[in-house]
Amino acid sequence: MTSPDETPELPHRQRRLLFRALHRGTKECDLMLGGFVRRHIAALTPAELDELEAIMELPDVDLADWFSGRRPAPPEVRGPLFDRIAAESAAPGAGMPDHLK
């Protein structure tokens, strides 16, 4: 798993977001949200980083349910980045480390 120390080329804001995404508190969110962020953090726009920060403020239990499709996400939390994360999280094998796929 990538840690912020292994990505010194990233700006501070992106390293901090990566760390927060990989250390959510629940393994399910670490894998879904953290995996997405690890794969895409370097390419996210400033607006997407803003949306990611807002997503990070939401409770893990809700995020896991919404990203996995167990419950629909309310319109007020959805946005383009949220929908991308949810789409990737719904794919077969989502969240699994690459070496286990």
Residue ranges and CATH numbers for the domains of the chain are 4-92 (1.10.150.250)
pTM, two decimals, is 0.84
- The alpha-helical segments, DSSP class H, found in the chain are 12-22, 27-40, 46-56, 60-68, 80-90
Half-sphere exposure of 6 (CA within 13 A, CB side): 6
Segment 15-28 shows an average pLDDT of 94
Q: What is the pLDDT of residues 66-92, one digit of tens each?
A: 999 999 999 999 999 999 999 998 887
Cα 64 to Cα 24: distance, rounded to the nearest angstrom: 11
Which residues are CB-contacts of 23 (< 8 A; sequence separation ≥ 6)? 30, 34
